[in-house]
């Protein structure tokens, strides 16, 4: 290798994202829908964990033992802080793939996860990662792999290469410009180029909009997403050929919406796919149908196939819970090519049945709603849609009492640490995607729940002031104002203390009435 980071961006930290597809608790429902039995996950590993939020949430909220690596020392240090806060025992280190994947003291794993990493590392590192998967994934084990894919990136790839070429020009190197400044300069250069109306832009008119979107993205996201030296967009068939050498087969999508062809494809497209019996060709053609840019998939090494009776039983007994207040769940969803309008006669009764914020098995939901002429199949499809859009979550299998108590303690300690961090105000400002951690962990779902920074500060104020809602705004304002931050209402920054406190009072009452009961049910608050 030429240098320690092997061409990967390390001078700007990755975002604090949470990625639910890496939650093993989501495997049973997804697998059962496709006729497979999900394995029990006792050992798991994430390669390239970024800030480590997902790994630490899943380690704290389950009995699974987690390992992982990231070769950015600052990110690894933060991930270890999270692990120490929860006491989960997650083994997280800062090291190269070459070092970590060749350790001889690691266990074999039931679950290995890579979010995007495959697309952003060198061929040498991909060979090391493949060897690790081949040696360390148990029979029956599951690989979560997300990656940039064709054909969706085809038109963008020349523009991406040009942007990276601009960041690497000699002048930037000589001036020692940081990555963020190089990205700004590259984007400005590309915008200037587009003003000349190049034939590339004429042939790909939507690239103008893509460039505008890039200009609005946090630079920490862009640096890791697009500006690494290595960047690949591979066809599904190429990934299949690679993983088949390790005895892995495609199990199903990890992104729940991708299970529902009725919601993503036209009747003509579904008819075309119905005539394809080869599963690899099916996925390849489907990627063309939706112009797929990013796949999130589960692969399995020798999956156990369920017969139809076992499949229906596994689906029926799966429990789900809401993550969003029912009246906040949109019934119009934007997919790749158009808007989907969900059937109110199906979704409104289901949301009403789930509005007690308690777990419900799918078979119980179907029985409860039988008088509304809803059957189990409709309930299952609706649950997949709600999970895929982030408004519901499947529940893990129930643990023994001792494990449940341990999980409750660990998640409580981790959430307490995150609330204290929210009080310190990240350097990028209130509501910033770059500095804020916008999730807490639920022991009920085994994963993350979206809670923005102001909501976190309300939870912290509640710890100090109890249920005296009128006292919350002053507590929150103390943290916000200490860093010179201000609230924004209807796009306007509120400057004075009085109007900031008034806005916080309004938000506090709304939070206590709507969000707090949900977070309490999810055992986050």
State pLDDT tens for residues 121-139: 999 999 999 999 999 999 9
Could you say which DSSP state residue 40 is in? P
Is the pLDDT at 433 greater than 60, yes or no?
Answer: no
Paired strand residues for 249: 300
Q: Assign residue 225 a region: left if phi > 0, alpha if psi is -120 to 50, beta otherwise?
A: alpha
Per the CB < 8 A criterion, the answer to whether 55 and 89 are in contact is: no
Average the pLDDT over 218-231 and give the result. 81
Residues 6+ apart with CB under 8 A from 273: 261, 265, 282, 285, 286, 289
CA pair distance 283, 34, nearest whole angstrom:
14
- DSSP secondary structure letters along 508-525: HHHIIIIIHHHHHHTT--
Looking at the chain, the domain(s) classified CATH 3.40.50.150 span 20-151+233-307
**447: its two tokens:** 């994963």
Count how many Cα atoms sit within 13 Å of the Cα of residue 131 in the half-sphere of its side chain.
13
Average the pLDDT over 174-179 and give the result. 60
Give residue 483's pLDDT. 79
User: What is the pLDDT confidence band of residue 95, given thresholds at 50, 70 and 90?
Assistant: very high
Q: Is the dihedral of CA 448, 450, 451, 453 positive or negative?
A: positive
Average the pLDDT over 464-476 and give the result. 96
Question: Which of 104, 109, 117 has its CA nearest to residue 134?
Answer: 109
Per the CB < 8 A criterion, the answer to whether 299 and 21 are in contact is: no
User: What is the pLDDT confidence band of residue 285, given thresholds at 50, 70 and 90?
Assistant: very high
- The count of other CB atoms within 10 Å of the CB of residue 407 is 23
Is the pLDDT at 5 greater than 60, yes or no?
Answer: no
Is the pLDDT at 181 greater than 70, yes or no?
Answer: yes
Average the pLDDT over 390-396 and give the result. 97
Give residue 524's pLDDT. 97
CA pair distance 263, 140, nearest whole angstrom:
31
CA pair distance 184, 347, nearest whole angstrom:
44
Give residue 173's pLDDT. 52
Give residue 169's pLDDT. 80
**Least confident interval from 35-49, 471-485, 504-518:** 471-485
State pLDDT tens for residues 152-172: 999 999 999 999 899 888 555
User: What is the pLDDT confidence band of residue 253, given thresholds at 50, 70 and 90?
Assistant: very high
480-485-491 Cα angle (round to 5):
115
Give residue 4's pLDDT. 41
CA pair distance 267, 332, nearest whole angstrom:
19
State pLDDT tens for residues 256-284: 999 999 888 999 999 999 999 999 999 99
CA pair distance 303, 290, nearest whole angstrom:
27
Of 84 and 11, the structure prediction assigns the larger pLDDT to 84
Paired strand residues for 66: 44
**Least confident interval from 60-64, 107-111, 203-207, 333-337:** 333-337
Among 3.40.50.150, 1.10.357.10, 3.40.710.10, 2.40.160.20, what is the CATH number of 20-151+233-307? 3.40.50.150
What is the CA 504 to chain-centroid distance, rounded?
Answer: 29
Containing 447, the helix (H) or strand (E) segment is strand 447-450
Q: Omega into 151 within 30° of 0, i.e. cis? A: yes
User: What is the pLDDT confidence band of residue 247, given thresholds at 50, 70 and 90?
Assistant: very high
Q: Which whole-number Å values give the CA distances from 388 to 50, 104, 259, in the listed order?
A: 23, 38, 9
Is the pLDDT at 434 greater than 80, yes or no?
Answer: no
Question: Which of 480, 464, 470 has its CA nearest to residue 502?
Answer: 470
Give residue 427's pLDDT. 43
* pTM beyond 0.75: yes
- DSSP secondary structure letters along 454-480: HHHHHHHHHHHHTT-GGGHHHHHHHHH
Question: Which of 36, 38, 79 has its CA nearest to residue 58?
Answer: 79
Residues 6+ apart with CB under 8 A from 287: 149, 150, 151, 152, 235, 236, 295
Is the pLDDT at 66 greater than 80, yes or no?
Answer: yes
Of 2 and 370, the structure prediction assigns the larger pLDDT to 370
When the pLDDT of each residue in the chain is averaged and rounded to a whole number, the result is 91
Helix (H), strand (E) counts: the chain:
25, 18
Residues 6+ apart with CB under 8 A from 104: none
State pLDDT tens for residues 322-348: 999 999 999 998 776 677 889 999 999
Coil, helix or strand at residue 174: helix
Is the pLDDT at 7 greater than 70, yes or no?
Answer: no
Average the pLDDT over 62-89 and give the result. 96
Containing 497, the helix (H) or strand (E) segment is helix 497-510
Could you say which DSSP state residue 41 is in? -
């Amino acid at each position: 290798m030429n240098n320690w980071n092997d061409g990967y961006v390390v001078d700007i930290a990755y975002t604090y994202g949470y990625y639910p597809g890496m939650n093993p608790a989501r495997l049973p429902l997804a697998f059962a829908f496709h006729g497979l039995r999900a394995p029990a996950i006792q050992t798991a590993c994430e390669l390239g964990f970024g800030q480590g939020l997902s790994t630490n949430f899943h380690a704290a909220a389950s009995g699974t033992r987690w390992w992982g690596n990231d070769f950015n020392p600052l990110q690894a240090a933060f991930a270890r802080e999270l692990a120490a806060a929860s006491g989960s025992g997650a083994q997280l280190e800062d090291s190269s793939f070459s070092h970590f994947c060749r350790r001889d003291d690691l266990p074999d794993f039931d679950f290995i996860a890579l979010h995007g990493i495959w697309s952003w590392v060198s061929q040498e590192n991909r060979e090391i990662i493949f060897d690790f998967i081949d040696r360390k994934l148990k029979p029956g084990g599951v690989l979560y792999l997300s990656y940039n894919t064709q054909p969706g990136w085809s038109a963008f790839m020349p523009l991406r290469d040009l942007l990276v070429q601009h960041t690497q020009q000699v002048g930037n190197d000589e001036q020692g410009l940081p990555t963020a400044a190089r990205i700004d300069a590259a984007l400005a250069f590309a915008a200037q180029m587009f003003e000349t109306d190049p034939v590339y832009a004429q042939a790909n008119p939507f690239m103008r909009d893509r460039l505008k979107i890039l200009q609005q993205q946090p630079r920490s996201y862009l640096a890791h997403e697009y500006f690494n030296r290595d960047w690949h967009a591979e066809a599904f068939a190429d990934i299949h050929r690679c993983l088949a050498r390790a005895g892995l087969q495609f199990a199903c999508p990890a992104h729940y919406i991708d299970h529902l062809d009725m919601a993503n494809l036209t009747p003509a497209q579904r008819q075309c796919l119905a005539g394809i019996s080869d599963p690899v060709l099916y996925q390849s053609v489907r990627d063309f149908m939706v112009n797929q840019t990013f796949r999130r998939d589960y692969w399995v090494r020798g999956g156990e196939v369920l017969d139809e009776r076992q499949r229906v039983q596994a689906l029926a007994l799966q429990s789900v819970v809401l993550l969003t207040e029912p009246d906040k769940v949109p019934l119009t969803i934007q997919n790749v090519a158009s808007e989907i309008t969900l059937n109110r006669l199906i979704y409104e009764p289901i949301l009403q049945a789930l509005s007690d914020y308690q777990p419900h098995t799918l078979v119980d939901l179907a029985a409860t709603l039988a008088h509304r002429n809803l059957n189990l199949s409709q309930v299952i499809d609706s649950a997949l849609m709600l999970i895929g859009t982030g408004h519901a979550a499947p529940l893990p299998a129930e643990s023994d009492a001792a494990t449940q108590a341990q999980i409750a303690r660990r998640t409580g300690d981790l959430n307490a640490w995150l609330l204290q961090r929210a009080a310190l105000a990240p350097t990028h400002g209130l509501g910033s995607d770059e500095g804020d951690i916008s999730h807490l962990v639920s022991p009920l779902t085994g994963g993350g729940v979206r809670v923005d920074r102001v909501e976190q500060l309300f939870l912290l104020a509640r710890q100090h002031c109890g249920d005296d809602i009128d006292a919350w705004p002053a507590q929150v304002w103390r943290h916000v104002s200490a860093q010179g931050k201000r609230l924004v209402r209807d796009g306007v920054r509120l400057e004075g203390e009085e109007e900031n406190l008034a806005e916080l009072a309004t938000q506090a009452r709304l939070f206590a009435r709507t969000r707090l009961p949900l977070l309490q049910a999810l055992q986050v608050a």
